[in-house]
Amino acid sequence: MNWGDLVVKWVHVISIVTGVGLTLFQYLVLLPVLRRVQGVPEDLVKAIQRRAGMVIGIAWVLIWVTGIYNLVVVVPTVKPNYHLVLGAKILLVLVLFFISTALSHPSLAFEGIQRNRARWVALAAWLGIVIIALSATLNMMRLKGVALKELPAPAQVQQLPPSSP
């Protein structure tokens, strides 16, 4: 076992759990509570969103770095059927990355998305779930050998006849 690859995988998974977990927390807990409770100071809401945005931003950096590393390690060992699912996953990751950036970046360009935060957080949460499901599918494809390239058979070693003294 390559311990470096294992550590990279752990960092990748923990970063995904952090990013998607915070998004799910916003979707399932924070935003519904903020809709029901009156008088929550706006600066408190902004501080929570800013902190969550920073944590998710760090998670995204780690996801990209470890994801590219994992891509370089895995791609040479898999068949085209794996690439098809991986391509769909990467496309959805790009969409999720855009939404996460738009929700947490204080730019006027993203004002419309931020004004409809609940809708976009919901979409981000569901995208995160689908991406995790695709990741599990990719792992199962490799574990079951469905996506692995056939390894060449080991070369036959010819035995030389015994030499006489």
8-25 pLDDT per residue, tens: 999 999 999 999 999 999
Q: Distance between CA 71 and CA 116 in Å, rounded? A: 34
User: CB burial class (10 A; 0-12, 13-18, 19+) of residue 25?
Assistant: middle
Q: What is the pLDDT at residue 155? A: 64
Residue 154: pLDDT over 90 = no
Residue 153 lies in a domain: no
104-145 pLDDT per residue, tens: 887 888 999 989 999 999 999 999 999 999 999 999 998 888
Residue indicated by tokens 């070369």: 155
Q: Are 48 and 81 in contact (CB under 8 A)?
A: no
Residue 63 lies in a domain: yes
Sign of CA dihedral 53, 58, 61, 62: negative
Distance from the Cα of residue 69 to its chain's centroid:
13
24-79 pLDDT per residue, tens: 999 999 999 999 999 999 899 889 988 998 999 999 999 999 999 999 988 888 88
DSSP state at residue 105: S
Residue 94: pLDDT over 90 = yes
Residue 158: pLDDT over 90 = no
Q: What is the pLDDT at residue 105? A: 81
Where are the strands (E) in the chain, listed by range?
Answer: none
- How many domains in the chain? 1
Q: pLDDT band for position 149 (50/70/90)?
A: confident
| 55: Cα within 13 Å, side-chain hemisphere | 16
Q: What is the pLDDT at residue 27? A: 95
Instruction: Tell me the residue range of the domain where 125 lies.
Output: 3-143
Residue 165 lies in a domain: no
Residue 159 lies in a domain: no
Residue 128 lies in a domain: yes
Residue 163 lies in a domain: no
Residue 99 lies in a domain: yes
Residue 151: pLDDT over 60 = no
